[in-house]
Amino acid sequence: MALVDVTATGEDNILNTAQIEELIEEDLKFRNRQLKKLKDEVLDLEDMSESISLTDFTLDDFRIELMNFMENNRKKLQEAPFGLYAVVPSPSGTNSHHLESNRFSAAEKEIIKPGVVYCLKQKGDTGGNEEINPLQPYFLVYIREDGVVRFNYTNAKQILEIYRLMCQGRKEPFEDLCGMFNAETNQGKDMERYTELLRQAIDEICRVFKKRSAQKLTSDRGALLIPKSKQINDMNNFELVTWLVIK
């Protein structure tokens, strides 16, 4: 910009030094945030056939869809209690015959295996934790049946993509799967298996949360310790908002 100004006016730069430094500083801050985000997120880049830009890692498309949905369903959402869940078939599991298999790529079949997606809300005051969790106070986690966390809360976009792929446009439940789930849990009286998966998922969330907190302290001079009241340690720090069972 300085060179253009000199060329156009034949005079000294019309932007003063302070303005130039401010522009550069803001640009570097933005790029630094984007690069840190890319560093901390797990991406299956080999599965993406098109060119990739930084906008591919934002949640703007989901926000737009959510706003449109809320306009037509605000009352239902406000009245919905915590803990609601749904059951859907996995495209790579024993119940894949309930789906149109040609809708899913080989990579999607490999990723979306039987498990659970939990949406959690951290209790209490969480102000200031946005540097550690951009969706604060909400956490998304996808854990498979074998206890492996496929996507942690740092991979919210990937989890939302799974949600959209499995649920968007569906208005009726999978009756057979619901019956299977009710039989498995004795009509919801025996939830030990899913409670254990939830416990494992929260343990992994806490581990990553603490790790990111420590990294923040060592990489940013302006970073502050998260107050004990805003830290997460176990299941008591969360409320279960909703969950998606993938069978």
| pLDDT reading at 57 higher than 60 | no
pLDDT at site 32: 66
- Whole-number average pLDDT of the chain: 82
Q: Which of 29-33, 100-104, 157-161, 192-196 has the lowest mean pLDDT?
A: 29-33
pLDDT at site 22: 64
- Average pLDDT of the residues in 171-197: 94
Residue with more model confidence, 19 or 43: 19
pLDDT at site 2: 62
Is 140 within 8 Å of 117 (Cβ atoms)? yes
- Average pLDDT of the residues in 33-62: 54
Residue with more model confidence, 2 or 138: 138
- Global pTM value: 0.73
pLDDT at site 49: 39
pLDDT at site 214: 82
What is the 3 state secondary structure string of the chain?
CHHHHHHHHCCCCCCCHHHHHHHHHHHHHHHHHHHHHHHHCCCCHHHCCCCCCHHHHCCHHHHHHHHHHHHHHHHHHHHCCCCEEEEECCCCCCCHHHCCHHHCCHHHHHHCCCEEEEEEEECCCCCCHHHCCCCCCEEEEEEECCCCEEECHHHHHHHHHHHHHHHCCCCCCCHHHHHHHHHHCCCCCCCHHHHHHHHHHHHHHHHHHHHHHHHHHHHCCCCCCCCHHHCCCCHHHEEEEEEEEEC
| pLDDT reading at 39 higher than 60 | no
pLDDT at site 47: 43
